[in-house]
Amino acid sequence: MNGTTGQTTGQTAGEAAGGSIDRAALWIGSLRRRYPMLLEELAPGTGRVLREVRGGGPAGSGVAPVRLYVSDALRDITDGVIELEEAVRDRLGLRRITAAPVPVRLRRLAELLALVGDLPDLAAHIEEETRRMARRCARAMGDPEQLVRLPGRCPACDCVSLRAFPERGVAMCVNPACRHVLAEETT
């Protein structure tokens, strides 16, 4: 690991940015799928509870309680997507464009990934932010990222810390000191 750039020795800036761009695209895709579901989690229902639906009669209050953690997650993700799109456009020297709903902004952000190839620090920032927001969305929906333990040892650090992340389509060592990503042919 090169201490000044955070890149593995022998890895070019373009290769590092390419990996971050691919992973950012996965996280953006996850957000695009889950954000509408998160909106549905917040939207008030019919006001009828399960007992009423099954014919048991009214059950006290007809309004479901507001779940603040869902509201907070929506606000955080919305603000994060807006700020990230504006930051990426500023860094690329592009003009700001009109306000839009989060799904549209996510689509535009995915389209901007093609222009980020020569900027590994920006690619890494997009990856980190989209991962953070996708995980926040998943947690608010009660759906943490699935993690599958793999047999064997990490080829880089020899720890038994190999895990597969099906949503990301990646297998890696979860040892914080290593974080080695397995090549496709070994997974």
pLDDT in tens, 132-174: 999 889 888 887 667 788 889 999 999 999 988 877 778 899 9
Query: Which of 61, 55, 99 has the alpha carbon at shortest distance from 79?
Result: 99
Tell me the helix, strand and coil percentages in the chain, rounded to 5.
Answer: 50, 5, 45
- Answer for the pair 153, 141: CB distance below 8 angstroms, yes or no: no
pLDDT band at 91 (very low <50, low <70, confident <90, very high): very high
- Answer for the pair 139, 80: CB distance below 8 angstroms, yes or no: no
Tell me the average pLDDT across 108-129.
Answer: 93
CB contact burial 101-117 (16+ within 10 A = b; e otherwise): ebeebbeebbebbebbe
pLDDT at 10 over 60: no
pLDDT band at 72 (very low <50, low <70, confident <90, very high): very high
pLDDT at 64: 58
pLDDT at 48: 43
Tell me the average pLDDT across 117-124.
Answer: 91
pLDDT at 22: 87
